[in-house]
Amino acid sequence: METNTHLFSKLTVKSVELRNRIGIPPMCQYSCQDGLLNDWHLGHYGLRAAGGFGLIIIEATAVCPEGRITPGDAGIWSDAHIEPLARTVLFIESQGAVPGIQIAHAGRKASAALPWKGGAHLDNANGGWNIVAPSPIAFGGDLGKVPHELTIEEITRIQADFVAGARRALQAGCKWLEIHSAHGYLSHEFLSPLSNKRTDRYGGSFENRIRFLLETTQAIRAVWPEHLPFTIRLSCTDWVDGGWDLEQTVALCRILRLEGVDLIDCSTGGGVATANIPVGPNFQVSFADRVRRDCGLLTAAVGLITEPAQADQIIRSGQADMVLIGRESLRDPNWPLRAARSLGCPEQMPPPPQYARVW
Ligand code: FNR
Ligand code: 536
């Protein structure tokens, strides 16, 4: 169904207003030392805020050091992380974009080399560390380390780390919180029966596999302000028979809505190395559409959305409430400014005054 809502319509979520429906999804820059943001992040995110994006979700930010994918990941496990994060957050906001953050734990995919150094698991002697997961099963391939099976006490500790991370994100001025529960990282590892073989209350049945995320959501909800958007990224399917799938996603999202979650960022995959994924334009949009219709939640669509008319159509047809532009925003930091011009509505997206005469 066509609606009057379009790519440049404002979107209000709780007390936060986005100037348009275009966001940047979290994308690791692998450029931190000790998890601290620096000038790379100020420039990278700042340029894209000036380029017109309504929402910028800062990359997967680890809630404890062992939860980093690589030694270069962002972190939020100490108060020392707040000030450098606040610097980037304030600049994003000064350019009219809403600053968000994704808080994360990489589970059995942690302790890896930087992508441009191969991305394989690092030995402890080479800068790596011991990894943890719901069950002691290696991801496989280059990520061959066998994770330690988390005890109940360790699970509780990580949940507390998520809560502390959310509090610090708030202190740093973030206005939008996303829990990373996708792509084969820790929270997704609990959800999927392929990576969660536990026999205690965190494994087995659907109710048990969603317990880690549900409890974490409830605990964060208690500290994250009611008036700010609270969101979760899910892999809506593992793309493998017997894995996590869309029906379980829908059942989970109905519960998450009752817990005060505002929006689901609908991604897929990452839990199984051998999955056969039908990658192509809009390949994940149907998941955002289904969750939006069946669960009464706002959704963000992501995945090979690159063209302005394509993005506009996703919003107009009501398949999602917003679109996230990943790799294409790395190629073009001014994607929203260009999109407004190619869609014939430049007045919707004025450039920063410093660039006024060239746009
Ligand atoms: C990503 N992606 C990603 N996802 C996530 O949830 N947290 C993250 O930190 C990252 N990091 C990351 C780094 C880089 C370099 C890329 C390319 C991707 C996935 C990303 O958010 C997005 O879902 C995918 O890239 C698909 O969207 P596009 O790129 O097809 O628009
Ligand atoms: C893409 N990636 C996701 C990352 C970092 C590495 C690249 C993340 O979530 N932190 C990806 C998309 C979909 C499934 C798996 C990986």
Say whether 106 sits in a helix, a strand or coil. Answer: coil
pTM for this model (two decimals):
0.99
Number of domains in the chain: 1
According to DSSP, the residues that pair with 323 across neighbouring strands are 22, 301
In a domain, 339, yes or no: yes
Give the distance (Å) from ligand 2 centre to CA of residue 95: 27
- Cα 123 to Cα 34: distance, rounded to the nearest angstrom: 18
- Specify the residue with its C-alpha closest to ligand 2, atom 9: 183
pLDDT at 312: 98
In a domain, 357, yes or no: no
Ligand 2 binding pocket includes 49 (Cβ within 6 Å): no
The structure tokens 């994940």 sit at: 284
- Specify the residue with its C-alpha closest to ligand 1, atom 13: 27
Cβ-based burial of 242 (10 A; exposed 0-12, middle 13-18, buried ≥19): exposed
Owning domain of residue 181: 6-352
- Cα 297 to Cα 78: distance, rounded to the nearest angstrom: 32
Q: Of 337, 299, 339, 325, nearest to 26 (Cα)?
A: 325
In a domain, 222, yes or no: yes
Say whether 25 sits in a helix, a strand or coil. Answer: coil
> Which helix (H) or strand (E) element contains residue 204?
none
pLDDT at 121: 98
pLDDT at 1: 76
pLDDT beneath 70: ranges in the chain: none
- Specify the residue with its C-alpha closest to ligand 2, atom 5: 28
Structure tokens given for 117:
């150094």
CA atoms within 13 A on the CB side of 49: 22
Characterize 24-55 residue by residue with b for buried, 16 or more Cβ atoms within 10 angstroms of its Cβ, and e for exposed. bbbbbbbbbeebbbeeebbebbbebbbbbbbb
pLDDT at 2: 86
- Specify the residue with its C-alpha closest to ligand 1, atom 1: 27
In a domain, 70, yes or no: yes
Q: Of 120, 122, 128, nearest to 273 (Cα)?
A: 120
pLDDT at 308: 98
CATH code of the domain in which 200 resides: 3.20.20.70
pLDDT at 161: 99
In a domain, 1, yes or no: no
In a domain, 149, yes or no: yes
Pocket of ligand 1 (CB under 6 A): 25-28, 59-60, 102, 180, 182-183, 233, 267, 302-305, 325-328
Those residues whose C-beta lies under 8 Å from the C-beta of residue 234, and which sit 6 or more positions away, are: 181, 182, 188, 191, 249, 252, 253, 264, 265, 266, 267
pLDDT tens sequence across 71-110? 999 999 999 999 999 999 999 999 999 999 999 999 999 9
pLDDT at 226: 98
pLDDT tens sequence across 144-194? 999 999 999 999 999 999 999 999 999 999 999 999 999 999 999 999 999
Q: How many CB atoms lie within 10 A of CB 354?
A: 8
Q: How many CB atoms lie within 10 A of CB 69?
A: 26
Which residue among 70, 109, 183 has the greatest number of ligand 2 atoms within 8 angstroms of its CB, and so is best to mutate?
183
Do the Cβ atoms of 266 and 302 come closer than 8 Å? Answer: yes
In a domain, 301, yes or no: yes
For the annotated catalytic residues, the residue numbers are 185
Do the Cβ atoms of 336 and 324 come closer than 8 Å? Answer: no
Q: Of 231, 238, 223, 287, nearest to 256 (Cα)?
A: 231
In a domain, 223, yes or no: yes
Do the Cβ atoms of 108 and 52 come closer than 8 Å? Answer: no
Q: How many CB atoms lie within 10 A of CB 320?
A: 28
- Cα 342 to Cα 353: distance, rounded to the nearest angstrom: 20
Task: List, in sequence order, the alpha helices (H) in 172-316.
Answer: 186-191, 206-209, 211-221, 246-258, 285-295, 308-316
pLDDT at 327: 98
Give the distance (Å) from ligand 1 centre to CA of residue 199: 32
